[in-house]
Structure 1
């Protein structure tokens, strides 16, 4: 925790658990009074130097019993209406609540006015005058005397316009209004704390600065918005805090800030006051990233789990290694598995508790920005997994946040996610929708993220997702579509694309929902406007193609359609072809281990499959470890098996050869517009051989915007096919091999075409290597 920059310091006696996420509250020892040197401290008197001046007796201005009880119980909605300075007959009543203080005085100009001790930490006095006194508090503890501004004499630090936007559910930069924000307010330096808790009977700020006892820091309700606010002087960057919420039943719960921008390192769960100091150096990248539409650009993605890519590295250490590795392999983007804070590392980040905070496991938010900056300066785009489909039930996070369902749906049958034991967001509630839409904008604006891959979209779209008959209620039209989720996704996509030009949103959507990547204003056959995503994961292609290559070659002829069926719907959406982390865990085996045959055949199948994938219409995504044919399933505990690439492990190019192939696939792919320029245009693809089931052969043309072709031929049989006939465009007089997955340097057998191949009257005849994909272009 960084030292306070203000003049205030906490008492020297430390309470048990200070600095922890969920400690016991309060010091064990009541401090003893200590007067400032040379200053008289007599209740009801004004002192200057060593001279005490009598003050006429005044009627009591102590808090009434009801206010007193509610403040002590943490159930007061308007502490500023009681504490601070208030006009009364004869002057101003000044009331202070400071538990454990032995005395409180007001410092007015050069004079000190001592307050009466009303018991239970309440202090009060009547200050004569016609104008509210301008004062500071002097609080005496056993071992310290603190001078500080009184937070209860300050106006709200959150503006009316912010409250209006929050009430409308339209605050697109919600993180500027809610959470902890260091600032100077009415000339006082401190931190503004704000939280949305409409069902709370009271809210208090607790933290290391008040020994996790919020009695001295009750927040005020700002009306019908459900927002609570308190500006705490002298609190700055690095302070730990939570909110203590009085639930409708009167019980108290301590909660992390839903809008926290920084958190303790799990398993600790306190929020941390944060101010960003990162200075971006990626202006050139940001300026050019939107010049060409993503669907008409090269787009090959390396999916990474940051915590395990090189276990133990910080964000800044990753910035020294990851950009150069990805750049060397030629990927255009990295996709980061969820980086938002999550309590359990084994969830891989998919059970989020801190939606606005990058995980502290690898450093601070500014450290994460440093990594993104480094990737951008290396010419690499950054995509991030975003998880708005559900959240975990941890009792210090979002679940029943203020004592009632708030972020989750109030209907238990719609709140509980049947597969993951988590809770689903209430997309129909405007404040919840605002929380999520603003969160999507936040990552793109504050962290310069280039795209969001939205997790588990199908689970959001259907009311009957993983539910049996009788476990769900149809929508107002009698259908199974979640209309609230549809509206949320449309709003999120429209808002992100409007606010942050050049970004892309990508849906992990596993059904045939019509119009996932259609613009939101265009209505499709289902009667809904498009969801507005830029790209969609092609889960059908992934399942079918992996199913095909898992069969022994002798049986593949019976599954030939699994490789060709994708072209029936290839242009219904803008697709990404994903071989993601989900396909190499939980007994599914790593990509190379899915392949049949001996080790040579497994690697050959692996290489042939990647060649087919990179040539197929759609963008590419490959999970870490698959680029060098790691044989073991991925484990978040130890990450990829990098030792396989060590020449001392093997002199043969089994793993290094596959990595060399991926490097060359990306290089040729980026250099050949035919492979990406018309990914969403049916005129950019043509079958050459699509029905050779007996041969296990597939051949097709990809065409760029000018009609220039690239020929891709895959032979998924372990035999060489000599003089294989292909019908190709007559205007091409010779074809040059530009990539061959059977090359010896990749670990193949070396069957190749070193010289251009010329067609004759019967067409083009080529020799197909065993278990290989070959690319040709006009010579």
Structure 2
């Protein structure tokens, strides 16, 4: 043998992959430019191709380096992995695997571990070697992230579909525009809808065909790193949507990869997701676990992603998810829980939290499954945060009502406090709520523009002062009227218009105020941070509550979802003295009419030890008052 025909890859290197313990499987499988030693010619450069296909009869690699013919690959003994090293093949080469399945049929397949893929509708994999050198500031960012406590800091998330935020912008152009805008708006994080390679733009990235390859529509993997680096330089954390729950059935991708159900279950009662027409990963197979846990670590370590938001967790947890009786197989105890998926989620969460200091794992989970954000060692799933889908659904149903009917649904906005501390919640208004006939946030609200935008200002103020972190989908910050359409992009031309500009400027103010006022974030996940003042004023469609910080720092919040003003609304507060208005959504700055502003108000003692402050509450508006222990009470009046 003149040189290593497998490009320095051995069966020993793949033991972890087969045991489910290889958390960096991308370093071994896929296409890698490597140098091998030839006894006669010395060091030779080429690309090593390796692919797992244990039930294939033959596997070939074909590409632009061999005129798309075929080179036979060989089984690495005892591994089920086929390998070949091709001299002279370097970065930029396009390739596919040609797999003859156990049934004798041939299929062209893309590389499951490809780092780069062609722009759809083309789908060849591309040999890729990164040339991006992270700026010195990245080390400081990662060090800061490792020391940050996300639970006791402000977190407001701007959810973005990169392909339509500013239509026609690529990763490098976005690197100039997106960090500046997000920073100016005061958001702490962006959440990127999946950037993994996907064939259909209308899937928004949730039907992934290349788990390790960023979407080539907007640029190369190194271009994406430029965007992430720019966001970090602006102080913005990057959350990436991750889809380990299911994958599409395109015959050139993961499905039936070697002619058998390799990545998925063979039985459709376990291996297919009827809602989306997709395959479900086989979480009990060690090589699949290695593939997925490695993928999670890949985005965090190689792209410096700060958090993964795991999509459709409920579909992973339950064997009967969206299935009728007889269409699912119970677990070994006769239950509906997917024990293998639960073990996998605990494994990946535990590994990432231990391996990457400061990383966050976020669950999009819509059921009452217990312990989603409890630590693994306490029997939980080990996520850091969970989307509060119940709060979201209840809130949006309330907003759709004509104000005269809201009094009969008052508990829609109070019920979330019953379970507010059962998990570490994020309050999401996501892309899913403004598509497919659901209407934009503006269109959900009945009656005229004054009521629509005043109600939205009130609701967002309610959301930003309610326990939990906040997430808002792009375009909703300036009140886009149309449903989001990924093919058209956002309606940026309205963001400077009346109503729209006021709403956008209010969102900015909410973010800036939250960062400056610890009671609005410090105890988001702890009961001592919240207390109702009056949760039961249903006849007035009004809610009032307190948020607490440290050392007596507190804010009283009022939200009036009625079109009626309340010029002398009494609030029972813990301290007598000065309470100073820090937010009034009826302020002219936010396109309100400027009436019913409060300035500073004096709370007078009550016989029971509390105090009462009387405020003027505008119609369809929110008011925040912060206790000011240093104010001079002698110069204040009740007026």
Residue 516 (structure 2) pairs with residue 671 (structure 1) = yes
Matched, 1:579 2:435: no
Structure 2 counterparts to residues 430-579 of structure 1, below 5 A: 430-522=286-378, 529-579=379-429
CA contact (8 A) 2:95 2:125 kept: yes
The answer to whether structure 1 residue 157 and structure 2 residue 8 are counterparts is yes
Q: Which residue of 2 aligns with 1:411?
A: 267
Match of 1:402 among 258, 263, 277: 258
In structure 2, which of residues 570, 578, 597 is the aligned counterpart of residue 734 of structure 1? 578
Query: C-alpha separation between the residues in 2 aligned to 1:431 and 1:740?
Result: 56
Residues 687 and 155 of structure 1: CA distance in aligned 2, closer, same or farther (over 3 Å):
closer
Query: 1:290-323: per-residue Cα shift (whole Å, max 9, x none)?
Result: 2122122110000000000011111000001000
Cα gap change, 1:155 to 1:586, in 2 (>3 Å) = closer
Q: How does 1:276-425 map to 2 (within 5 A)?
A: 276-281=130-135, 282-425=138-281
Look up the SS of the partner of 1:727 in the other structure.
Answer: strand
Whether the 8 Å CA contact 2:563–2:619 is kept in 1: the answer is yes
The correspondence of residues 651-662 of structure 1 with structure 2, limited to 5 A, is 653-662=498-507
**Is this contact kept in 1: 2:11–2:76, CA < 8 A?**
no
Q: Any idea what the Cα deviations from partners look like across 1:569-628, whole Å, max 9, x if unmatched?
A: 000000000000000001111111111221111000010000000000000000000000
Matches within 5 A, 1:114-193: 154=5, 156-186=7-37, 187-193=43-49
Partners in 1 of 2:13 and 2:56 — Cα distance? 20
Aligned counterpart, 2:121: 267
Which residue of structure 1 lines up, in the alignment, with residue 609 of structure 2?
A: none
Tell me, yes or no, if structure 1 residue 760 matches structure 2 residue 604: yes
Residues in 1 aligned to 2:285 and 2:242: alpha-carbon distance in whole angstroms: 20
**Matching residue within 744, 747, 764 for 2:591:** 747
Do the aligned partners of 1:166 and 1:225 also contact (CA within 8 Å) in 2?
no
Secondary structure at the aligned position of 1:374 is classed as helix
* Structure 1: 5+ residue stretches without partners: 1-84, 86-133, 135-150, 523-528
CA contact (8 A) 2:531 2:547 kept: yes
Q: How far apart are 1:755 and its partner, in Å?
A: 2.7
The Cα shift of 1:778 comes to 1.4
The 1-side partners of 2:143 and 2:534 are apart by: 43
Matches within 5 A, 1:640-719: 640-646=490-496, 650=497, 653-719=498-564
What is the Cα deviation at residue 761 of structure 1?
A: 4.0
1:239 is the counterpart of 2:93: yes
Q: Do 2:7 and 2:48's aligned partners in 1 also have CA atoms closer than 8 Å?
A: no
CA positional deviation for 1:754: 4.8
Name 1:589's counterpart in structure 2. Answer: 439
CA distance, structure 1, for counterparts of residue 393 and residue 316 of structure 2: 21
Distance 1:696 1:754, change over 3 A: closer
Q: What TM-score do you get using the length of structure 2 for normalisation?
A: 0.95
Q: Which moved more, 1:219-228 or 1:763-772?
A: 219-228
- Which residue number corresponds to residue 637 of structure 2? none
Name 2:635's counterpart in structure 1.
Answer: none
The whole-number CA distance in structure 1 between the counterparts of 2:580 and 2:162 is 40
Correspondence for 2:53: 197
Distance in 1 of aligned mates of 2:26 and 2:454 = 50
Structure 2 unmatched runs, 5+: 38-42, 607-611, 629-639
Judge conservation of contact 1:742–1:748 (CA < 8 Å) in 2: yes
Q: Secondary structure of the residue that 1:603 maps to in structure 2? A: helix
Structure showing greater relative contact order (alpha-carbon pairs closer than 8 Å, 6 or more residues apart): 2
Question: What is the CA–CA distance in structure 2 between the aligned matches of 1:743 and 1:757, rounded to whole Å?
Answer: 17
Query: 2:109: which partner in 1?
Result: 255
Query: Aligned partners of 2:256, 2:341: CA distance in 1, in Å?
Result: 20
- Quote the Cα distance in structure 1 between the aligned partners of 2:77 and 2:407: 69
- The equivalent residue for 2:40 is none
1:156: Cα distance to partner? Answer: 4.9
Q: Distance in 2 between matches of 1:348 and 1:752?
A: 44
The answer to whether the 8 Å contact 1:714/1:773 transfers is yes
Structure 1 contact 295–535 (Cα < 8 Å) conserved: no
Higher-Rg structure is: 1
| Aligned match of 1:637 | 487
* 1:154 Cα offset (Å): 3.7
Q: Is the 8 A contact 2:152 2:523 kept in 1?
A: yes
8 Å contact from structure 1 (residues 678, 705) kept in 2: no
SS in 1 for 2:573: coil
Structure 2 CA distance, aligned partners of 1:378 and 1:729? 39
